Amino acid sequence: MISWITRNSWKVVSASEVGITHVQNNVPCQDASKHVVDSETLIACVADGAGSAARSDEGSRLAVEVFVAVSNELLKRNKSGSLEDITSDAFEEARKAVLTIAGNDPQDFATTLSGLIATRDDIAAVQIGDGAIVVDGEVVLDSYTDMYANAGDYSNETRFLTETDVAPVKFSASDKKVERVAILTDGLDNIAFDNNGYERKPHAPFFDPMFAWLESSSEPENQAELAGFLASDRVRAKTGDDVTLLLAMR
């Protein structure tokens, strides 16, 4: 699953690849991503369906679709609206959409969600569950940001969009022109981050070449290189999980 768009100031590429353990167990890729660019505004979202949930691939796909669509509509309807409010509303609408199709089986559609809006000078982001959002070389949201909001009751347990008492962690900044954005699922944790206790920093030897590649890429066909990298032996040697990476720069 790959997508590519280049308009005006933003260049964006994303890809999701099934993990090797999913291949071995005949399980589909449960990650999803979606983005849209309008002039100088970027809306982007990544979701990671729970590995144990029977239909989490459907949940993750619907979540990113609704988050991006609602964010886009709210921005067009009220261009002066708070980005933090818009991302919060879009998060809640994505949650409602997934719960609606889930009916009496919300756990079957369990998924994380990491969503972001960046305009000319402002940025806002929301997240539930694991994964990470990296802005200009700094981690702004991930599962270490707020352990109550993103972690479950037990070690290595995460929270999901479909839980009844769920509330996202948030990040926002005004008068800040963002240059580079990366949103990724936790399958890439061992490659993309340097870990020091509860503090995680982006691993420069991972991110710098990725953005250098994106900057030099001019043909949509080059997106296949990202998908190929995510499905490569180098990545699969570090993780058996599905992997998703969305990169954006201007």
Q: Does position 23 have pLDDT exceeding 90, yes or no?
A: no
Please write the tens of the pLDDT for every residue from 114-128. Answer: 999 999 899 999 999
What are the φ and ψ backbone dihedral angles of 199, each rounded to 5 degrees?
-105, 125
Rounded to an integer, what distance in angstroms lies between the CA atom of residue 27 and that of residue 19?
9
Q: Does position 5 have pLDDT exceeding 60, yes or no?
A: no
Rounded to an integer, what distance in angstroms lies between the CA atom of residue 149 and that of residue 167?
7
Q: Does position 6 have pLDDT exceeding 80, yes or no?
A: no
Q: Does position 199 have pLDDT exceeding 50, yes or no?
A: yes
Please write the tens of the pLDDT for every residue from 156-184. Answer: 568 899 998 888 999 999 988 899 999 99
Q: What stretch of H or E contains 94?
A: helix 83-102
For position 4, what pLDDT does the model report? 52
Please write the tens of the pLDDT for every residue from 208-235. Answer: 999 999 998 876 666 788 999 999 999 9
For position 198, what pLDDT does the model report? 64
Contacts with 124 (C-beta within 8 Å, 6 or more apart), sequence order: 82, 83, 84, 86, 87, 116, 117, 170, 171, 172, 173
For position 144, what pLDDT does the model report? 63
Task: Calculate mean pLDDT across residues 23-34.
Answer: 92
What are the φ and ψ backbone dihedral angles of 220, each rounded to 5 degrees?
-55, -30
Closest CA to 109 of 52, 67, 69: 52
Question: What letter would DSSP give residue 158?
Answer: B
> In percent, how much of the chain has pLDDT > 90?
72
The residue among 6 and 199 whose pLDDT is bigger is 199
Taking the complete model, does pTM exceed 0.85, yes or no? yes
Q: Is 126 exposed, middle or buried (0-12, 13-18, 19+ CB in 10 A)?
A: buried
